[in-house]
Chains A and B, each alone.
Chain A
Amino acid sequence: MRAENYIPPNVIPKPLRKMAPLLKKRWLRKLILLPSTISGKRFSNKTEDYGVFKPSMISNLDQISLYVRDIEKSRKWYEDLAGMTHSRTCEKEPHPIKEGFQIKCCYMNAKDHEECVVFIEEYDLEGNVIIPSGMSFFHFALEVEGNSMEDVFAFAEQANSRGFEQNYGPVRHNDSIPHGDGETGGNVAVYFYDPDYNNVEFCGGMDTIDNYKERAKQMKK
Chain B
Amino acid sequence: MNREVVKFQHHVFYVTDLKRSKDFYMDLFDLQFSALNHPDSSAAMKLAKQEMHFFSFGHYHHDICLVKHHELKMDNESLLHYTMEVADAHDFDHILQKSKKEKIQLKEGRMLKSAKFEKGWKAFCIQDPDHHWIEIIHKPSRN
Contact = CB atoms under 8 A, between A and B. Distances in A.
The answer to whether A and B interact is yes
Interface of A: 9-10, 23, 28-29, 32-33, 36, 41-47, 50, 53-67, 82-84, 90-91, 93-94, 96-97, 103, 105, 107, 110-113, 115-118, 120, 122, 132-147, 151, 154-155, 158, 181-187, 201-203, 206-209, 212
Given A58-B85, A105-B114, A113 B56 contact: no
17 contacts: A36-B46, A43-B40, A47-B54, A50-B33, A58-B29, A60-B7, A84-B4, A93-B113, A136-B74, A142-B5, A143-B8, A155-B3, A182-B42, A184-B54, A202-B5, A207-B60, A209-B59
Given A10-B72, A45-B37, A63 B83 contact: yes
A203 B6 CA distance: 10
A95 B67 CA distance: 27
Contacts of B11: 61, 64, 137, 140-141
Given A36-B40, A113-B8, A61 B95 contact: no
Given A143-B5, A187-B61, A56 B56 contact: yes
A92 B54 CA distance: 36
Contacts of B64: 61
Q: Which of A46, A62, A111, A118 has the most CB of B within 10 A?
A: A62
Contacts, number: 281
Given A65-B79, A135-B78, A47 B69 contact: no
Contacts of A145: 3-6
A53 B76 contact: no
A144 B6 contact: yes
A81 to B, nearest CB: 9
Interface size class of B (residues with CB under 8 A): 35 or more
Contact of B137 (A57, A62, A141): A62
Nearest to B56: A53
Given A32-B43, A60-B85, A185 B113 contact: no
A117 to B, nearest CB: 7
B41 A43 contact: yes
A94 B113 contact: yes
B13 interface: yes
A62 B85 contact: yes
Contacts of B1: 154
B104 interface: no
Interface in B67-99: 67, 69, 72-88, 91, 94-95
Contacts of A201: 10
A113 to B, nearest CB: 4
